Amino acid sequence: MTARVLANYNGKEMYLDEVTISPLDRGFLFGDAVYDVIRVYQKKPFLFNEHIERLTTNLDMLKIRCNMEAFQKDLHTTVANSPEQDGMIYVQITRGTAPRVHYFPDSSITPNVLIWVQGFDTTKHEKLWSHGCSVITYPESRWSHPHIKTVNLLGNCMAKQEAVEKGSYEAIFVNNDNYIMEASSSNVFGIQNGILLTAPTKQKILPGITRQFIFGLAKEMGLETKEHYFTQDEFYTFDEVFITGTTTEVMPVVKVDDKIIGSGEPGDITKRIQRLFFEKTRR
């Protein structure tokens, strides 16, 4: 029997299948909401402060006023009461429930806050972490503010579905200038001549929390890092490629479209980064 998922909705603890949301919720009607996903290792939210800082920034960008002190208290209580030792926290904060109008309604409306904690099955990932995955490239089709972590993810879902239908793990967005950006639910890194490369954020990609953590690992390892745009053709010629994310962690990429990356196996530098990441998160 599958364990029920513990949730907290607007300060009330309940199971996820008991949560009811009004059809006039702004997140439901307009995608007027932000979200975040936080990994939990041994009951401890990983990089918690960094996630909260980004979430707060996103709320400010959308002018959603949320009591962050109460929110964090509810989150920690839900994690503590959940039976899951290792898993993930999903957080979604909508502007609230209000009459349907396109402009932001009166600021006195109260945000709707949903938190849930669930287990995370790493079985599939473990094989890909060891042997690498294949990805596809996909034309950039999202709105112009992907740096804000909103629930408007239809473009990401369409890209991920294309990857699944082609038997790949992930889809990487390529913009109109033929530059590699980010993937549908992860950030993208390449290694060329021992240098770690990734596209800059600059309001064009999501400033991933794991992405930033990788910079710290690279510095610890003495790796040179560069943030600059590179083309799709350049991407195919990289010595190594990997993607990162809260649940993806550090995933080697051995094939992009029909092109083999490097030797076709996870590269040495990628494996070193991955090993150090696992050491720090499983410690």
Residue 193, Cβ neighbours under 10 Å: how many?
8
The tokens for 181 are: 């950006």
Rg, Å, the chain Cα set: 19
DSSP 146: T
Of the residues 43, 44, 73, 149, only one is catalytic, namely 149
Degrees, nearest 5: CA angle 223-38-15 = 165
Q: Are 267 and 252 in contact (CB under 8 A)?
A: yes
Instruction: Give the separation between CA 205 and CA 149, rounded to whole angstroms.
Output: 10
**Spacing of C-alpha 48 from chain mean position:** 14
Active site residue 149: yes
User: Integer distance in angstroms from the first to the last C-alpha of the chain?
Assistant: 30
Instruction: Give the separation between CA 170 and CA 198, rounded to whole angstroms.
Output: 17
Query: Nearest CA to 269 among 225, 211, 228?
Result: 225
- The runs of H, that is alpha helices, within the chain are 26-30, 48-61, 68-81, 123-131, 154-165, 209-221, 232-236, 268-282
CA atoms within 13 A on the CB side of 154: 4
Give the residue numbers annotated as catalytic, written as ranges: 149
